[in-house]
Amino acid sequence: MLKLSHFWRHCMQNFFNSGLTQQQFLDEYWQKKPLLIRQAFVDFKSPISADELAGLACEADIESRLIKERGAEPWQVTCGPLEPEDFETLPESHWTILVQDVDKHLPNLQPLLAPFKFIPDWRRDDLMISFAPEGGSVGAHTDSYDVFLLQAMGTRRWQIMHEPVYEAKLVDGIELKILAEFAADETWELEPGDMLYLPPNIAHYGVALNDCMTFSIGFQAPRQIEILDSLVNTCLEKGLDGRYYADRDLALAEQGSELTPQAIQRTKDLLHDLIEQSDDLLAESLGKLVTKVKPSLYEVAFLPDYELSTPHLAKYFTQGDCYKNHYLQFAWSSHAEGGWLFSGGESYAVDKAGIPFLALLCEKTVLTEQDWFDINKNQSVVDVLRALILNSGWFFKIEVEYYDD
């Protein structure tokens, strides 16, 4: 077995089996152009069966869809939870089941995502798994995010267009966003272990040639308006009202009701100043935004509340390890005075000496008693861990009792 340092050096020199290093992939392909990798996962066998996927689609807290191309209406969509009866009436072909966030619902699948850690964790959205018999498809479409399409079972034919599609004409009258016009520039058939990378806005069309399962590893990208909204909310939470609009260079108005180009420019400058005056404010806003919990996961992401006093953390660690909540996203950022840990759309501050612990709390999945001994050397990190436990970021599997501080 390779030592860890040798393993990562091996990964840096081998981006799957593409002949590229990870940095070469980022430089030449990431958000630029598609890449087909034959046997990216050598001798790959799906760790989940079609029946198990169908079972997940029937669970109330799991986001899923059943898409029938030739149902009662063209491209009929049924949102989960599905019922056993939904499967009993399915035709032999031309339908697809899709289940979101399988990596969170089945954490034993998370090791599949480890080879993608060279891309920041906070950019990763989820592992979506689809199953389709022959002819199954969701139509020609584009995505607004980067995605790796790993063939897990059977054969799927992928057709793509080379040029990005930014203003797509869609088929009218259906729920799905299917392209009304699609002319393939390239076609591939993917077998188990093959993987296709697609940047945002690349039109693609996948069709199952037989019983087929595809793993989609998607990466989120916040919109401008979402970032601005988070920035405004962070300012309001901190009581930062900002400067008033000013026009010391005001010229004589010819029309008193006109919003002049000069007024618009002053407004733009005012907003630019708000963004540029503090990288820390923007970092905190972004961190809270990219770790927010999806509405579809909210009910399962947050554990039952319990009380926990800081002096008794040591006792709990002697009784068992502390585990990360795999439904929550974690990120961190540092600044001149200290740092933040972000989880569940919240920010938690540590002092400067606590910065080295932020990666530990974000990237480890289990905290041991030895980890606690190290954490306990910094009170700001202890406070953050306690807050994370109270807010479901970490939890003990032992029964936690109530203690008065």
The whole-number pLDDT of residue 381 equals 97
- Measured at the CA of 230, the angle between CA 278 and CA 295, to 5 degrees, comes to 150
189: three-class secondary structure by DSSP: strand
The whole-number pLDDT of residue 79 equals 95
The whole-number pLDDT of residue 7 equals 42
Rounded Cα distance between 355 and 15, Å, is 30
The whole-number pLDDT of residue 397 equals 85
Helix, strand, coil shares of the chain as percentages rounded to 5? 35, 25, 45
CB atoms within 10 A of CB 261: 8
The whole-number pLDDT of residue 307 equals 66
Beta bridge partners of 141: 204
CA distances from 139 to 158, 182, 204, 309, 382 (A): 11, 10, 8, 54, 50
- Measured at the CA of 314, the angle between CA 394 and CA 365, to 5 degrees, comes to 30
How confident is the chain (405 residues) per 10-residue block, as mean pLDDT?
A: 43 79 96 97 96 96 95 88 92 96 95 95 96 97 96 98 93 93 97 98 98 97 94 91 90 88 94 86 95 93 74 86 95 94 97 96 96 96 95 83 48
The whole-number pLDDT of residue 405 equals 45
Rounded Cα distance between 35 and 197, Å, is 5
Rounded Cα distance between 147 and 220, Å, is 9
Q: Please, what are the domains in the chain?
A: 10-219 (2.60.120.650), 224-246+260-285 (no CATH), 295-396 (3.40.366.30)
The whole-number pLDDT of residue 53 equals 97
The whole-number pLDDT of residue 306 equals 64
Structure tokens at 16: 């799957």
